[in-house]
Structure 1
Amino acid sequence: MSVEGLRFISAAEYVPEHILTNDDIQVHLNQEICPDWVKGKLGISERRIITSGESTSSLAEKAVRKAIQNAGVRPESIDLLILATASPERRAPATACIVQFDVSAVCSGFLFALSIATAMMNAGAARRAIVVGADTFSDATDWERRDCVFFGDGAGAVLLEKRSIHIGGGNAGRYDSELFTNGRDLEAFTIPLGSSSTFLMDGKAVFDAAAHAVPKCIDAVLTRNAITADDIDIVIPHQPSRYLLENIAASSGISFDRFELCMGRVANTVGATIPIALAQAMENNRISTGDAVLFATAGAGFTAGAALHFWS
């Protein structure tokens, strides 16, 4: 569904202070990994890990407060808050009871939640909304396995506003998304039930599913909005690995230098990745009014999606 008059007012990230580098994993955890391979192939140099007293909801809360502060608006002016997380603190009650309304679609969670928020705003249920992605997959990581290098903890939040008037001319303010789910690859990435369970991943199956589904979602949303890959000014992607993103860029015909990367310093932060990357891009003034901003994601389930927003 296409939404007009949407504006991203602000974005913010919050990550734990504790840093775990590739060298730390190799030396202190006695893992037989090659730090240079992790950095070159995955694009990850370090990740942030929660410590005692920190949780998914505490990271989410801090990211939300920063987004509100950055926007300079009153908290009571927010009509809707949606949390995307795949690492809730409890099976019941939902983390929504601690933060607010939540959505779970693993790494695709933020983009799914963003599309839900825009649809509700378009229906008149809210004028101003916050969407926050927060995850703490360090709790679902077996630090004695080589695949412990993939994930980090963090949160990111965006504050959106729906306006009744058209701003910026042309397509500015339009948002359109293409979302995809398919249970065929259910076992490619999974975390079994149990408080001490860690993730199990078939890396090749995850790569193949994402490399196929994400470009199809991108092509669908570009075609529907009558633009080409050359028209995309910046890509804000979920970031499982640099190698996968390079493959998606090549398949989609989008230059890789247009991809905003944050995985080097925070790794794969699951549902927090896209808002963290967006906050980074906004802070570095990489987005201007009228720019075609493409969001792209893939996650367990299997889920995937792409969204196009003409910045206003």
Structure 2
Amino acid sequence: MKRAYIKEIAYYVPEKILDNKYFESILDTNNEWIITRTGIETRRMAREDETIFEMGINAVNNLQNKGVDLTVVDTIITPTVTKDYIFPSMAGQIQKALGLKNCFAFDMSAACSGYVYAMNTATALIESGQSKNILIVCSEKLTKDINWKDRGTAILFGDAATASLITSREDGKGVLAIDMQSEPDFSIMLNGGSVCPIRAEDFDGADFKIHMEGGETFKRAVIEYSNSIDRVLEKANKKLSDVNFFVPHQANLRIIQAVAKRIGLPIEKVSVTLNKFGNSSSTSIGLALTDALDNNKIKEGDLVLFTAFGGGFTWGSTLMIW
């Protein structure tokens, strides 16, 4: 049976580091308050002239530097929400930069659930025989969409990019089960689209920046994380005790700890990188996975669980034999 498998993954983060002391200088907050409520100590910030495409290509280059041959890629998926342009697709721009001809490319949008949605879409494409080698590129420049006056969101987000090569395998390794759901009743539509275009005469900034109801998001995230995990394990006929390692979206340490406790997983089996990178939306799972691999926390044959929750709301899980 064909299964999708993460053959290799790499990341790129900008050089500039924003620590919590920076926010002490611009907001009514302090280092202890931020760490206690989020677990975040630092996050990365892209240069003003650094594009989302440029960051994505840097991650792709780092993937190639690991010896990955991208000439075999037949599909490119880019689940990025902070785009340089509305169209054409960023995935198409990456295809052009790589000079790939026999390939199709498309963007998708699922906010912080983007990597899981892209991985699950890649799984369907590989299992159907449509694709054999899929490049997933996540690149987010969230700092350009931050309301720097909003203490509740300004402290959370950072910039990063990841690139993953998903291949087809038939040796038992790879994705066992997937789960995806959404509930758009909880969307808050940002201005700037065709319905409410940006106009200089009424632009005040806040209407065009990230907004989040933290309390509601926290409660729903813990519930839906847990429900999604239950479903994906049931589909694979596995138990929580079978899981060797958990790679969640890096939104908030308190959410990660609450989910781990709710599902009975010790924190030692959980990848946590938000202390270094903050919430980087679709790129966060890739960052957390790379960190776990670099530190030998995941071994061949391990059952690895990925779970994400994003704005809108969106959520999902992927269960894989490494």
Structure 2 match to 1:178: 179
Indicate the larger mover: 292-301 or 40-49: 40-49
State the alpha-carbon separation in 2 of the partners of residues 126 and 303 from structure 1: 25
Q: Distance in 2 between matches of 1:174 and 1:203?
A: 32
Maintained 8 Å contact 1:6/1:162: yes
Q: Is 1:191 matched with 2:196?
A: no
Partner of 1:61: 57
State the AA in 2 paired with 1:16.
Answer: P
- Given that residues 180 and 316 in structure 2 are in contact (C-alpha distance below 8 angstroms), is that contact kept between their aligned partners in structure 1? yes
Q: Deviations over 1:74-113 (max 9, x none)?
A: 2211121211111111223332332342111000011101
Whether contact under 8 Å (2:76, 2:91) holds in the other structure is: no
Please state if 1:116 is matched with 2:121. yes
Matched, 1:294 2:305: yes
Alignment correspondent of 1:97: 92
Are 2:44 and 1:48 equivalent residues in the alignment? yes
Q: CA deviation at 1:152?
A: 0.3
Check conservation: 2:23, 2:30, Cα contact below 8 A: no
SS at match of 1:265: helix
Q: Tell me the residue number matched to 1:157.
A: 163
- Match for 1:241: what amino acid? N
Listed as ranges, the matches of 1:159-238 within 5 Å are 159-163=165-169, 165-166=170-171, 171-187=172-188, 190-193=189-192, 196=205, 197-238=208-249
Task: Letter of the 2:68 partner, please give it.
Answer: V
In the alignment, residue 158 of structure 1 is paired with which amino acid?
Answer: S
Deviation at 1:7, TM superposition (A): 2.8
Q: Does the 8 A contact of 1:12 with 1:67 survive in 2?
A: yes
CA distance in 2, matches of 1:136, 1:31: 21
What do the CA deviations read for 1:150-176 (whole angstroms, capped 9, x no partner)?
A: 10000112112102x32xxxx533432
C-alpha separation in 2, matches of 1:130 and 1:234: 24
Q: How far is the alpha carbon of 1:215 from its aligned partner?
A: 0.5
Cα 1:75–1:174 shift into 2, 3 Å = closer
Give the conservation status (yes or no) of the 8 Å contact 1:232–1:294. yes
Q: Does 1:20 align with 2:18?
A: yes
Q: CA deviation at 1:204?
A: 1.0
Whether the 8 Å contact between 1:185 and 1:205 is mirrored in structure 2 is: no
Partners in 2 of 1:34 and 1:191 — Cα distance?
29
Q: Partners of 1:244 and 1:73 in 2: how far apart?
A: 35
- Equivalent residue for 1:10? 8
Among 257, 264, 268, which residue is 1:253 paired with?
Answer: 264
Secondary structure in 2 aligned to 1:24? Answer: helix
Aligned residues: 299
Partner of 1:142: 147
Contact residue 156 and residue 279 of structure 1 kept, 8 A? no
- Measured in 1, the distance between the counterparts of 2:222 and 2:150 equals 25
Q: Offset at 1:265?
A: 0.7
Name the residue aligned to 2:35: 39
Q: Distance in 2 between matches of 1:159 and 1:115?
A: 13
Q: Say what the alpha-carbon RMSD is for the aligned residues.
A: 1.6
AA partner of residue 266 (structure 1): F
The CA distance in 2 between the partners of 1:33 and 1:10, in whole Å, is 39
Tell me how far 1:34 sits from its aligned partner: 1.9
Contact 2:175–2:318 (Cα < 8 Å) also in 1:
no
Q: Once superposed, which parts of structure 1, at least 4 consecutive aligned residues long, lie more than 4 Å away? A: none
Unaligned runs of 5+ in 1: none
Structure 1 counterpart of 2:250: 239
Other structure's SS at 1:201 match: coil
Q: CA deviation at 1:257?
A: 2.1
What are the superposed Cα offsets for residues 223-254 of structure 1, whole Å, 9 maximum, x if unpaired?
12122212111111101100111111122222
SS of corresponding position for 2:241: helix
Summarize the Cα distance change of 1:94–1:80 in structure 2 as closer, same or farther, 3 Å threshold.
Answer: closer
- Taking structure 1 as the reference length, the TM-score comes to 0.91
User: Secondary structure at 2:65's aligned position in 1?
Assistant: helix
Partner-residue secondary structure (3-state), 1:159: strand
Q: C-alpha distance in 2, partners of 1:244/1:292?
A: 22
